[in-house]
Structure 1
Amino acid sequence: MNLDHDSCYAIISARDSRYDGRFFTAVKTTGIYCRPVCPARLPKKENVIFFPSAAVAQEAGFRPCLRCRPETAPDTPAWRGTSSSVGRALRLIEEGALDTGSVEQLAARLGLGDRQLRRLFLKHVGASPVSVALTRRLLLAKQLLHETKLSITQIAMASGFGSIRRFNESFQEVFKVAPSFLRREIGVDGPGVSSAELQVRLRYRPPYDWEAMATFLKARLYLGVETFDRGVYRRSLRVDGRICLIGVSRGKGDWLDVRLRLQDLTAVPKVIARVREGFDLAADPEIISGHLGQDEALRPLTLRRPGLRVPGAFDPFEIGIRAILGQQITVAAAIKLGAALVQHLGEPLPSVWASETGVARLFPTAEAILASPLDFLGMPQARVRCLKAYCQAYADSPDFFGGETATLVSRMQAIPGIGPWTASYVALRALRDPDAFPAGDVALARGLALPDGTRLSHDDLEARSQNWRPWRAYAAQHVWTELASG
Structure 2
Amino acid sequence: MAYTWHVTTYSAVVTTGIYCRPGCGAKPLAENVRTFELAAAAEAAGFRACLRCRPYRVAGPVDARAPELVCRAVQLIIDGVLDDGTEAALGERLAMSPRHLRRLFRDHLGVTPDQLARSRRAHFARRLLDDSDLTVADVAFASGFGSLRQFNREMREVFRAAPRELRDRRRRADRLAADGGLLMRLPYQPPYDWDAMVDHLAARAVPGVESVSDRVYRRTIGLDGGAGVLEIGPGEGDVLMLRAHLPYWEGLIHVVERAARLVGVASEPADRLLRDPLLGPLVVARPGLRVPGAWGALEIAVQAVTAQDHSLKETRAQLGRLVKECGQPVPGLTDRLTHLFPSAEVLASSSTGIVQSLAAAVADGRVSLEGGSSEVLLAQLTTVPGLMPDTADWIALRLGHQDVFPRSLHAEVAAEVSDRWRPHRAVAATYLTTY
Question: Which TM-score applies when normalising by structure 1?
Answer: 0.82
Superposed, 1:430-449 pairs within 5 Å as 430=399, 432-440=400-408, 445=411, 448=412
Q: Does 1:219 align with 2:200?
A: no
SS in 2 for 1:283: coil
Q: Does 1:144 align with 2:128?
A: yes
SS in 2 for 1:154: helix
Is the Cα contact below 8 Å between 2:183 and 2:242 reproduced in 1? yes
Select which of 14, 17, 21 maps to 1:35: 21
Q: Equivalent residue for 2:386?
A: 417
Shift of the alpha carbon at 1:468?
A: 1.9
What amino acid is the match of 2:297? P
SS in 1 for 2:309: coil
Is the Cα contact below 8 Å between 2:73 and 2:371 reproduced in 1? no
CA-to-aligned-CA distance 1:3-54 (integer Å, 9 cap, x gap):
xxxxxxxxxxxxxxxx9x8222223333222223334x53344443322211
**Identity of counterpart residues, as a percentage?**
38
SS in 2 for 1:480: helix
Q: Does 1:201 align with 2:169?
A: no
CA-to-aligned-CA distance 1:311-344 (integer Å, 9 cap, x gap):
0111111111101111122111111101111111
Q: Does 1:86 align with 2:70?
A: yes
Is the Cα contact below 8 Å between 1:280 and 1:309 reproduced in 2? yes
What amino acid is the match of 1:69? R
- Partners of 2:178 and 2:432 lie apart in 1 by 47
Is the Cα contact below 8 Å between 2:122 and 2:143 reproduced in 1? yes
Q: Which runs of 5+ in 2 are unaligned?
A: 1-5
Q: Does 1:25 align with 2:11?
A: yes
CA-to-aligned-CA distance 1:445-479 (integer Å, 9 cap, x gap):
3xx3xxxxxxx7xxxx3343212211211222112
Q: Larger Rg: 1 or 2?
A: 1
Select which of 417, 423, 426 maps to 1:470: 423
What amino acid is the match of 1:294? D
- Partners of 1:470 and 1:116 lie apart in 2 by 23
Check 1:198–1:327 CA distance in 2 against 1; reply closer, same or farther (3 A cut): same
CA-to-aligned-CA distance 1:52-83 (integer Å, 9 cap, x gap):
21111111111212321111123234x32321
Q: Does 1:359 align with 2:337?
A: yes
Select which of 306, 331, 336 maps to 2:312: 331
Check 1:109–1:400 CA distance in 2 against 1; reply closer, same or farther (3 A cut): farther
Q: Which runs of 5+ in 1 are unaligned?
A: 1-18, 375-383, 449-455
Superposed, 1:56-455 pairs within 5 Å as 56-77=41-62, 79-186=63-170, 197-290=181-274, 293-296=275-278, 298-351=279-332, 354-355=333-334, 358-372=336-350, 374=351, 384-397=352-365, 399-430=368-399, 432-440=400-408, 445=411, 448=412
What's the Cα RMSD here?
2.5
Shift of the alpha carbon at 1:239?
A: 4.2
Check 1:32–1:321 CA distance in 2 against 1; reply closer, same or farther (3 A cut): same
SS in 2 for 1:80: coil
- Partners of 2:89 and 2:177 lie apart in 1 by 34
What amino acid is the match of 2:18? I
- Partners of 1:97 and 1:408 lie apart in 2 by 19
Is the Cα contact below 8 Å between 1:279 and 1:311 reproduced in 2? yes
Check 1:340–1:120 CA distance in 2 against 1; reply closer, same or farther (3 A cut): same
What amino acid is the match of 1:159? S
- Partners of 1:67 and 1:300 lie apart in 2 by 37
CA-to-aligned-CA distance 1:163-197 (integer Å, 9 cap, x gap):
11110111122222111012122267xxx999993
Is the Cα contact below 8 Å between 2:354 and 2:387 reproduced in 1? yes
Of 404-413 and 205-214, deviating more is 205-214
